[in-house]
Amino acid sequence: MAGKDTTKSPIHIPSTPFRPGDISAFEQWTAKPTDLSMPAIDCSAEETAEHAAGMIRVLSDDNIASGDWNRNISAENLRLGLEHMVRLRIFDDRMMKMQRTGKLSFYMRSLGEEAVAIAQTMALEKQDWVFPSYRQPGAQFVRGRDMVSMICHCIGNVEDNVKGRQMPVHYTWKEGRFISISSPVGTQFSQAVGVGLASQYKGLDEVTISWIGEGSSSQGDYHYALNFAGVFKAPVILNTVNNQWAISSHVNVATAGKNFAIRGIPYDLPSFRVDGNDFLALYSVTKWARERAAAGLGATHIEVLTYRAGAHSSSDDPSRYRPQNEAQCWPGGDPIERLKSHLIEIGEWSDEQQNSLEEKIDSEVMSAYKEAVKFGDLANGPYPSSDHIFTEVYETVPWHLEEQRKEMKRWRDA
Amino acid sequence: MLERDNDTVVFGQDIGYFGGVFRTCDGLQEKHGKHRVFDSPLAEGGIAAMAFGMGINGLRPVFEIQFADYIFPAYDQIVNEIAKVRHRSGGEFTCPVTIRTPAGGGIKGGHHHSQSPEAQFTHTPGLKVVYCSTPYNAKGLLISAIESNDPVVFFEPKRCYRGPFYGDPHNVPTWKDHPEAEVPESYYKIPLEQARIAMRGDACTVIAWGAMVHVAEQAIRDSGVNCELIDLQTLVPWDRETVTESIKKTGRCVIVHEAPKTSGFGAEMVASIQERCFYHLECPIERVTGWDTPFPHTMEWDYMPSPARIAEAIHKTQEA
């Protein structure tokens, strides 16, 4: 079996441009807010070819809004969007600190991607369904979820609404139409088509939005979603969040192409590539997709171009596989900084207001944290009753689970 | 194996440059080259299918599924394709694939990072199923698995990557000084189909695999009963002789696994043991297993078989 020459690489292995020790140099963006017009919502998929190949932006590099996609969102709404993004970032920081002290087992931040779920959920109606992956918890802030309840889930205490069954960040919140998150990646994307079709079947004005990572777009579920959404003209908004990294795997491992957006066109879905750190552009494109879906014209595919500025999760250490400064080199900048600068530019915000907003949210998060830990945390308990292991496996508890529950209880109470 | 066999290739998610999320492939790419050890797109079904193709065309692929819980997008490829191609092609094509996957609980991973789905593969004709438990048998069994011309699903108890797990989450020692932690640099094999007698005794036979081997060891010590502990190592085909001989000696048996009880591999063993050892048994065979529920997050210690539960089962066999 031995004896062959192993020095040459006979097969093509995708390269990763920058590794630790390198200086990342992304290709600078030339796309301008005025480049791409806004098509009519009943356009054909082919009419979006340029939008898929290019990049929709509303904010320029100087954070001035212009172009066809600029919807002149009210300053009040922009400030609200900024507030939600700041809230998510501060919340994430607090949760990460709690994770390091053992108060929760695991955490995933949205750092650098805060605009994605927040701008897009703000562009929807309250009755629309949000079917997230693990990096869109921000949608819950938009829908007004109580932060204490979110923390109680993460720290797995007695007030965890999923009863200690799921890992942190795997939120469920039916009241906010925020569908339960599953760890196997990509499953939500194709399921979202079913959620949308059920709304349509019932004659309801509801649209479903879902996200998948560029890494997970290799899964069959991604292609099922685009195909089924195209075939059934489902009222869904399908977003591929291209944040450059799937744990340690660079986007080059996810695709040999340079673009995810254009994949939607052969499935007959209008497709857009959007600057994912541009709050205004994300909002605008999502609004377009919502209008199209609500008009019964079918689904839209969106590539959200962004950068995962943090680690994949609290278990990950990106300094082992990518340059540490890479987030600073990202041509799309930081979503919070950009929206803040825009608001300051138009005279609707100031550094002082930003500081007091951050202080306000800091104490909001701190008091939510203090309130949540009153109900226990992972390090110290109390935990949800282990009777919950046996309930809601089925609608009613069958005999064998009842027997096992009693057996468990005997040991627990011993 | 990469050194001995140029046709062996290793791939999976994050195993190339990074060396895997559990570091099991650390340094392999640097040592053996990017075309031998590489990252794949994030698609378990695609990974398994590519391995199938490479396998039937003369390579010896070893692929990693990052968590056993994520193996199911590959289930069709493994169960209907990889497992069946030798038979369906009249022996013309074979697929010598090794599927490595971290399994089992104990890391606060909730139901999608903790499952132990061995029975979903032992029920598939054409697959060999291995569950290692120590650094020493991990290497010896893995070499046998890779060299096997049959496809092998190779489970690694993730709770044991850092040390043996004796059932106490607050006190997990490292592998340092453990007799099974000495791993020779050189090539050695542990044959598939061979169980390991981890402790010798004559009062009761305790059978376990994966992390449960160590938990059972603790339980036996706690019980004070002179048990024989069998680390099954290979589940399909399992070492019927070693098990039968032991039970003929002890007349008593406790089977331990983390996976749910219903249709767990323990059920298969109980059935086989009674076929061969019925008249040697002094009492019913006991099973100590995970519950028939999804694996929980915060309450995982109320789910996993504990030394106390196993010890009680051992004592029960002594009453007869």
Burial of B200 (0-12, 13-18, 19+ CB in 10 A): exposed
Contact A276, A241 (CB under 8 A): yes
Domain of residue A80 covers 46-311+322-383
Same domain, A280 and A298: yes
A165 domain-assigned: yes
Same domain, A270 and A405: no
Q: Give contacts of A404 with chain B, Cβ < 8 Å.
A: 261, 291-293
Q: Give contacts of B65 with chain A, Cβ < 8 Å.
A: none
Number of domains composing chain A? 2
Domains, in order of start, for chain B: 8-181 (3.40.50.970), 196-319 (3.40.50.920)
Quick one: closest CA in B to A213, which residue? Answer: B42
Interchain pair A184, B43: CB under 8 A: no
Same domain, A330 and A409: no
A375 domain-assigned: yes
d(CA B223, CA B215): 12
The full DSSP string for A266-322 is GGT--EEEEETT-HHHHHHHHHHHHHHHHTT---EEEEEE----S-SSTT--GGGTS
Distance from CA of B249 to the nearest CA of A (A): 30
pLDDT in tens, chain A (414 residues): 444 444 578 999 999 999 999 999 999 999 999 999 999 999 999 999 999 999 999 999 999 999 999 999 999 999 999 999 999 999 999 999 999 999 999 999 999 999 999 999 999 999 999 999 999 999 999 999 999 999 999 999 999 999 999 999 999 999 999 999 999 999 999 999 999 999 999 999 999 999 999 999 999 999 999 999 999 999 999 999 999 999 999 999 999 999 999 999 999 999 999 999 999 999 999 999 999 999 999 999 999 999 999 999 999 999 999 999 999 999 999 999 999 999 999 999 999 999 999 999 999 999 999 999 999 999 999 999 999 999 999 999 999 999 999 999 999 998
CATH code for the domain in which residue A264 is found: 3.40.50.970
Q: Give contacts of B73 with chain A, Cβ < 8 Å.
A: 184, 219-220
The three-state secondary structure class of B205 is strand
Tokens representing residue A311 in the block: 């680690």
Same domain, A399 and A273: no
Short-list A390, A412, A410, A389, CA closest to A401:
A390
d(CA A371, CA B13): 40
Active-site residue flag, A312: yes
A35 domain-assigned: no
A141 domain-assigned: yes
In the structure, what pLDDT confidence band is assigned to residue B1 with cuts at 50, 70 and 90?
confident
Same domain, A361 and A414: no
CA distances from A348 to A80, A310, B220 (A): 12, 30, 71
A3 domain-assigned: no
The string of pLDDT tens digits covering residues B225-237 is 999 999 999 999 9
Name the strands in the sheet holding A271-275, side by side, starting at the edge strand that comes first in the sequence: A129-131, A208-213, A236-242, A300-305, A271-275
Same domain, A278 and A401: no
Same domain, A368 and A395: no
* pTM over cut 0.90: yes
- Expressed in percent and rounded to 5, the helix, strand and coil fractions of chain B are 35, 20, 45
Give ∠ CA A301-A304-A306 in degrees, rounded to 5: 165
Of B32, B39, B44, the CB nearest to A253: B39
Same domain, A306 and A401: no
Same domain, A287 and A412: no
Same domain, A306 and A412: no
Same domain, A275 and A406: no
Interchain pair A1, B262: CB under 8 A: no
A125 domain-assigned: yes
Same domain, A333 and A410: no
Stretch B250-263: mean pLDDT, rounded? 98
The reply to whether B131 touches chain A by the CB within 8 Å rule is no
The full DSSP string for B103-154 is E---SS-GGGSS---THHHHTSTT-EEEE--SHHHHHHHHHHHHH-SS-EEE
- pLDDT value at position A7? 58
Tokens representing residue A69 in the block: 């996609």
Q: Give contacts of B59 with chain A, Cβ < 8 Å.
A: none
A14 domain-assigned: no
When scoring B42, B60, B143 by the number of chain A Cβ atoms within 10 A, the one with the most, hence best to mutate, is: B42
A26 domain-assigned: no
